[in-house]
């Protein structure tokens, strides 16, 4: 009877050991699968490739710069570094105003962009145009892009106080107001981090040199990156 009990005990211990071994292997397999899932999730953190349209003025059109050194070209490089095959169309024109951008937008939307970066308004303000007209034009463009089922990234600007502090402050504030009312993301100031560095500007004291454009890119990227993951 003791022999039978001993054999039964040994069999029971072997069964426990085998079960524990199987459980350990299952845990290792689960950990491996979770690791692979995490790798896949990381590689697919961004959604499918997108078409990005940049509608801007000379600040986005590489005014006074060698081709390929402006922030839009640097953005394409950033996308490649992030392993993204998003396409960029730069429809920026030096001297462009909000009324000019508004007039061109319908044709540009026929390209069916997924994201439209609107960087306009500075030339309106430098000419002292009515702020209400600038705001209405920007609002109209945002509305048109949203009706086309594309996302908008609005880029704000500041100007020197040539027309008085009141005009300057109201111009800057209209971007924040528009972004809030239309529920679109905002880059508060395209040139943030640049104006306090005189060496970052060309001789006209308006247009940044090439060395400033990586800073400008970082400003835009902070607002654009979340749109690429949606």
Look at the chain and count its residues.
Answer: 230
Q: Write out the two tokens for 224.
A: 């654009």
Taking Cα atoms as reference points, which of 164, 64, 188, 54 lies closest to residue 119? 54
Other CB atoms within a 10 A radius of the CB of residue 220 amount to 22
Active site residue 58: yes
Single out the catalytic residue among 5, 166, 196, 204. 204
By the 10 Å C-beta count (0-12 exposed, 13-18 middle, 19+ buried), 136 is classed as middle
Which H or E run includes 116?
strand 115-119
Taking Cα atoms as reference points, which of 229, 226, 198, 228 lies closest to residue 211? 198
Calculate the CA 224 to chain-centre distance.
1
Q: Write out the two tokens for 151.
A: 């996302």
Q: What is the CA radius of gyration of the chain?
A: 28
Active site residue 136: no
Single out the catalytic residue among 57, 58, 92, 213. 58
- Per DSSP bridges, beta strands 87-90 and 115-119 are unpaired
Active site residue 213: no
- Per DSSP bridges, beta strands 186-187 and 151-155 are parallel
C-alpha–C-alpha distance, residues 139 and 125, integer Å: 16
Q: Which residues are catalytic?
A: 58, 204, 207
């Amino acid at each position: 009877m003791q022999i039978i009990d001993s054999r039964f005990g040994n069999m029971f211990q072997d069964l426990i050991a085998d079960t524990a071994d199987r459980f350990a292997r299952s845990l290792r397999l689960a950990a491996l699968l979770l690791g692979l899932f995490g790798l896949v999730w990381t590689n697919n953190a961004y959604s499918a490739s997108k078409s990005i349209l940049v509608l801007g003025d000379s600040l986005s059109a590489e005014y006074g710069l060698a081709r390929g050194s402006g922030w839009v070209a640097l953005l394409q490089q950033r996308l490649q570094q992030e392993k993204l095959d998003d396409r960029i169309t730069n429809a920026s024109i030096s001297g462009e105003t909000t009324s000019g951008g508004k007039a061109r937008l319908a044709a540009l939307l026929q390209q069916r962009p997924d994201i439209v970066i609107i960087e306009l308004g500075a030339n309106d303000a430098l000419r002292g145009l009515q702020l209400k007209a600038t705001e209405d034009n920007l609002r109209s463009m945002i509305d048109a892009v949203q009706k086309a089922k594309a996302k908008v990234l609005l880029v704000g600007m500041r100007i020197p106080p040539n027309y008085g502090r009141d005009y300057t402050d109201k111009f800057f504030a209209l971007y924040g107001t528009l972004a809030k009312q239309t529920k679109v993301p905002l880059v508060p100031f395209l040139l943030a981090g640049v104006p306090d560095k005189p060496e970052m500007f060309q001789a006209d004291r308006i247009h940044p040199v090439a060395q400033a454009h990586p800073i400008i890119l970082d400003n835009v990227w902070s607002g654009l990156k979340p749109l690429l993951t949606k």
